[in-house]
Structure 1
Amino acid sequence: MSTLTRPSPLTRLRRGHWAAPAASALLITVAAVLSWTAGVNPFSGGHGPSDLTTGSALLVGVSDLLMVAAAAVSGVPILIGALRALLVRTIAIELLVSIATIGAVIVGEFWEAAAVTFLFSVGHALEAATLTKTRSALTELVAVAPDTAVVLRDGTQVEVSAAQVAVEQIVLVKNGAKVPVDGVVLTGSGTLDEASITGESLPVEKVEGDHVFAGTVSTGGFLQVRATGVGVDTTLARIIHRVEEAQDAKAPAQTFMEKFSTWYTPIIILGAVITAWVTGDVVLGLTLLVIGCPGALVISIPVAIVAGIGRGAKDGILIKGGQHLETAARISAVALDKTGTLTEARPHLTDVTVLDPALDRGEVLAWAARAEAGSEHPLSRPIIDAATTAGRAVEGLPEQTFPIPGKGIVAIVDGHRVSVGNLPLLAAEGITDDSGAAAQVDRLARLGRTPMVVTLDARVIGIIAVADQVRSDAEEMVSRLHTSGIRTVVMLTGDARRVAEAVAAEVGVDEVHAELLPEDKLDVVRRLQSERHTVAMVGDGVNDAPALAAADIGVAMGAAGTGVAIETADIALMKDDLLKLPQAVALARKTIRVMTQNITIALITVTVLLVGVFAGGVTMTLGMLVHEVSVLVVVLNAMRLLRPDAAAGGSRRAPGSIADRAPAAGEPAVSAS
């Protein structure tokens, strides 16, 4: 295997952005020493006094030639850049500098020519270095990509290139190693640092059945992983691709600024020519060319966008591009799906209420579980699991099962007709005596639970209820959204209104829209937009697809394991963490503030320099120096976005659900099986 050698510092200098300014600085230094030796100030301009001795005049002549050479060394790359831009019909900043430099040489301002090109090339090198820093998030992502993998082949451990691992192969992840593939843990246990994928600062424990991602690092334990995604199909590869595209995508403000510069630059050239012609002062015209360089203005927006998107990538927030970053900063309304967003999408049994004195709780639960054994409804699983836990094992399937859409299920179990569903199911079954079920259903629904009436052979025997646990950070997330200035937080759900209202009351949303079909969610989003809201929709991308597509910003949560979400969502929150949503909004707004600051800095700099030129005292050299300083200030200001923000304050609530709170006064206690 060949070994790659790092180039020497001298080689890197010669090949890098610093080669031209370094050579130019050396020539300027030698030229200055020669002029001083001849008794001439090298920075005074012109060719020096006429009464010089022959030797001194020779030294001054050589000094002038070296100054011209310095201007050429650092100016030729600038001229090449200007010509390349002209070939694609673009008048670039480099053209202004090139014209000013050539003009300065013609009128004998050799020091000005050398200084302008030297300062411009130094500024370009510093700008390139700092821009590279703003793209550090992408560099770090590429750096964590694993190179090798240890796979099991015929029971033997074999080390191969990560690119050679095939889907379904068994990969071994040892302590300290990088995970080379996306996969599922088959055996073993350990902890992984997933910061590169989700932004999570603490290691995550992994056991059998858990998903792992390429690029994460084992901090302990030993895992056998079945590969499900390799090469370009890994989550890490998709993130890198997404960040590359996002950092290159142009925001509307950036596009406007580029169009502005295409008119601004020719106007500056025309203004400089007119000024030189009217005043008869060629140097003044050349100085205006240098002063008018819109470098800080042009770079003010893209550097902020690159830094903002990079910071988001480090924090597990993928933003599709500058356009979506700008839109996210204007969000004034957030629409949230309930199930799987505000709740954990893991319903559990909370209540078993007996309404037939001939039966006990275990029997009511057993009949319900036997009937639900033939159901595909997601609420059947917690009922069956609760019965199994209570010692009422569910064996086999009902003889017959009849799903009743929108109402529940009817099943024939050991010759008995059992139904589990809502109150309208009783009417469908022809049952007129509800044995007080309506009152209990109303009470349980007000508590945020989903009640289901259980009947046996046309008589009501009890009620069971399930509840989905509200996420521990849901209330804090809504609070942070409100604090950040978002006026309206809306919950959209297909669940029953009483259940939805109970969840909404707990988390603090402003509006509740319940019992919705997918197209109804779309209507709510469009209504918010008609009220001049910029709407972000957070959902799972399945039944929320129409609303996600219509919203100004579609947000996917927990996207680390979902390649489709990474590629299609406007903003993808890699970790299943609600607090990432207000963090994303805050990042977008901070990025826009930095963009505004940068534009202000650039405009003030150009204005002050123009006033200084006509007032006297601002030379070409000073103008270029201030111009390059303004460019660096703009870039460094954008780099502030790369600093991780301090964690937002506020207490975190302990996990709990509406179903877990104590009964209010006057409410009968209920038991959960």
Structure 2
Amino acid sequence: MQRFILSKKNQITFISGILIVLGFIAHFGFENVGLFNAAFILASILGVIPIAIQAISALKVKVVSIDLLVTIAVIGAFFIQNYEESAIVTFLFLFGAWLEARTLNQTRSAIKELTDMAPEVALKQNEKGEFAEVDIWDVDEGDTLLVKTGAKVPVDGTVLIGEGHINEASITGEAVPVSKIKDSEVFAGTILENGTLQIQADRVGEDTTFGKIIELVEEAQDSKSEAERFIDRFSKWYTPTVLVLSLIVWFISKDIELAITILVLGCPGALVIGVPVSNVSGIGNGAKNGILLKGSEVINDFSKVDSIVFDKTGTLTIGNPEVAESKTYGEANRALSYLASIEAESDHPLGKAIVADLGEIERYTVEETEVVKGGGIIAQVDGHRVAVGNVALMEQENVSLNQEVLTDIKKYEKNGNSLVLTAVDGKLNVLMGIRDQVRKGVKEDLQELKNLGVKNLIVLSGDNQGTVDLVANELGLTEAHGHMLPEDKSAYIEKLQAEGQIVAFVGDGVNDSPSLALADIGIAMGSGTDVAIETSDVVLMNSDFSRLPHALGLTKATARNMMQNILIAIGVVLVLLVSVFFSDWMNMSIGMLVHEGSILVVILNGMRLLKYRLKGNRQETSTEVITERVS
């Protein structure tokens, strides 16, 4: 019976409101006091029942809840025949509870948007080789699935057959469709705009991108911050205190109406709802903008960060080496073709960078390849002896390096490049400088972090000190340290923490995991390793570095918002209680109306965070969840 009554709270609230309106119409329209009293008595009884049930349930677990204060106040007002106030108090309290629940559901819209985008069915290949529609939960890893034009990709997988363009806006935030061919990776929830694909299911169900993101966001929104835990402890003591205060006032003044009014005015409803709505709104904003904040506690700590430590490769830089500078000497067209032919057969990262840079170019058959350890490759191509490698290999091959070449080499090395030289038949034809490129816009993003109050921006890298210094100078970092092993990075973070600094670490690799776990806030790039993502507190989806300033600004705004709501809630209660003793206009109905008004204020204040956008941010705020890979 109790469960049934509580399930009908919204209907009871509506009926109580109708009865109150009818009571006022009877009183002021027809001067019918009997109907007026009957309507308010019935509204009072109906309204207090679900409130009393909740109060009794809380008492069973030894908690003196706000519901108990309202129940006692309403019963007291009823017995002193103040039916108008008892009815209005119950209605406003129930209406406030409905408003809170509705608002929290709205602030959790990030999860709803995700689940709405998640596919429900798939075309699965059966034993006969035919494709039949099945429920998404009937798909297993390794199954072959068919995706037609306009359909959602049902799982995270790999393209087996076909070509097409997929709209990955729900995943990467980019509106431009991405071309997919054999061996391309696809993600659940994206839409095939044209073409037909057969894919192999690699991750299904809760293990897909959507499954993991939804799980992380739900866990984050359900967690409690230190502020919320404080309010929980505060409420346990505050509610009995108000109850005792009202008893003391009644004992001294013998005025039961005054005592009951204190019970009503002392309800800290806005205090209880204010902090959770701020946290949930902040986490929801992050989820919509490609930032996973793993819990309310993260918001509190991140907002206070004064030092951010970065790994270099894959974080400040793209993580894939590219040809940054090149120069040819003499007739080099044929030499470039020879170089492309040799490197096309190599799996070395520098070789892949060269092939990508040269693009479509004439190729030749490579013969008699010899790998020189620590030097490069020597091969026979089109009847010529071609040497590709470093300066040491050139010297070994007796390739003459004139003053112009030596000057270029020194310049390229100073710029932090790895050198690849190509000589044909003992004559140098090509010099290339290859280096990992700094992410586009990172310098501006780092300046925004400084504007947000971060004092120290530090890079720690296993790369040589010269290369690290070049990156630090280009980006305007506070400190730069090279030749750092994973244990060295962890030790450095511990040193900063010992100095009293609140440290965030940003990384993406397995070797970053100890530092991510050790730092006060671990921030992982979304395209990083599974271990890095699991051990972090914040994930920047799609490895979008520009989300970092937004994340920091959002946590600071959320922390401020929580404090504003706490001050509003406590301020309203204090003003109401003072008004009881020092004014003639304060009564239960007015007090409860002001209470519900304060609840509405803190809710609306918290919901402002859903629209938060960092001022001056270069990148437009995305309205979709952004992720590259969370598995």
Q: TM-score surpassing 0.5?
A: yes
Q: Give the drift of 1:251.
A: 0.6
Distance 1:498 1:410 in 2: 23
Distance of aligned partners of 1:257 and 1:455 in 2 relative to their CA distance in 1, 3 Å threshold: farther
Contact 2:512 2:532 in 1 (8 A): no
Report which structure shows greater RCO (CA 8 Å, sep ≥6). Answer: 2
- 2:479 maps to 1:511: yes
- 2:51 maps to 1:78: yes
Q: Give the drift of 1:118.
A: 1.0
Contact 1:307 1:638 in 2 (8 A): yes
Match of 1:255?
A: 229
- 2:318 maps to 1:344: yes
Equivalent position to 1:21, from 13, 31, 53:
13
Match of 1:140?
A: 113
Contact 1:369 1:380 in 2 (8 A): no
Counterpart residue identity of residue 538, structure 2: I
RMSD of equivalent CA atoms: 3.8
Distance 1:274 1:539 in 2: 59
- 2:507 maps to 1:539: yes
Contact 1:362 1:390 in 2 (8 A): no
Give unpaired runs (5+ residues) of structure 1: 1-11, 43-58, 403-407, 653-673
Question: Please, what TM-score do these two structures have when normalized by structure 1?
Answer: 0.80
Contact 1:74 1:117 in 2 (8 A): yes
* Number of positions where the alignment pairs a residue of Structure 1 with one of Structure 2: 608
Question: Please, what TM-score do these two structures have when normalized by structure 2?
Answer: 0.85
Q: Deviations over 1:189-225 (max 9, x none)?
A: 4444434334x15243232143222122344444333
Instruction: Between 545-554 and 441-450, report the one with greater CA deviation.
Output: 441-450
Contact 2:5 2:50 in 1 (8 A): no
Q: Give the drift of 1:34.
A: 4.8
Contact 1:445 1:498 in 2 (8 A): no
Counterpart residue identity of residue 177, structure 2: V
Q: Deviations over 1:336-374 (max 9, x none)?
A: 22211222222134556799x9x9797699699969978
Distance 1:298 1:204 in 2: 45
Superposition map of 1:293-442 within 5 A: 293-350=267-324, 378-383=349-354, 395=366, 402=373, 408=374, 420=389, 441-442=409-410
Contact 2:41 2:83 in 1 (8 A): yes
Contact 1:185 1:206 in 2 (8 A): no
Provide the secondary structure at the position in 1 that maps to 2:278. Answer: helix
Distance of aligned partners of 1:354 and 1:217 in 2 relative to their CA distance in 1, 3 Å threshold: closer
Counterpart residue identity of residue 574, structure 2: T
Distance 1:302 1:478 in 2: 31
Match of 1:572?
A: 539
Q: Deviations over 1:548-595 (max 9, x none)?
A: 121111112234x86655544211122222111111111111111211
Distance of aligned partners of 1:197 and 1:370 in 2 relative to their CA distance in 1, 3 Å threshold: closer
Distance of aligned partners of 1:610 and 1:240 in 2 relative to their CA distance in 1, 3 Å threshold: same
Provide the secondary structure at the position in 2 that maps to 1:506. Answer: helix
Distance 1:360 1:128 in 2: 72
Equivalent position to 1:230, from 190, 200, 204:
204
Contact 2:323 2:433 in 1 (8 A): yes
Give unpaired runs (5+ residues) of structure 2: 621-631
Counterpart residue identity of residue 572, structure 1: V
Contact 1:373 1:384 in 2 (8 A): no
Instruction: Between 639-648 and 174-183, report the one with greater CA deviation.
Output: 639-648
Match of 2:441?
A: 473
Counterpart residue identity of residue 535, structure 1: V
Instruction: Between 207-216 and 122-131, report the one with greater CA deviation.
Output: 207-216
- 2:576 maps to 1:609: yes
Counterpart residue identity of residue 130, structure 2: T
Counterpart residue identity of residue 553, structure 1: I
Superposition map of 1:109-188 within 5 A: 109-153=82-126, 154-188=128-162
Provide the secondary structure at the position in 1 that maps to 2:510. Answer: coil
- 2:248 maps to 1:274: yes
Distance of aligned partners of 1:194 and 1:348 in 2 relative to their CA distance in 1, 3 Å threshold: closer
Distance 1:466 1:312 in 2: 36
Q: Give the drift of 1:275.
A: 0.9
Distance 2:119 2:15 in 1: 40
Distance of aligned partners of 1:34 and 1:412 in 2 relative to their CA distance in 1, 3 Å threshold: closer
Distance of aligned partners of 1:191 and 1:629 in 2 relative to their CA distance in 1, 3 Å threshold: farther
Instruction: Between 214-223 and 240-249, report the one with greater CA deviation.
Output: 214-223
Contact 2:335 2:429 in 1 (8 A): no
Match of 2:624?
A: none
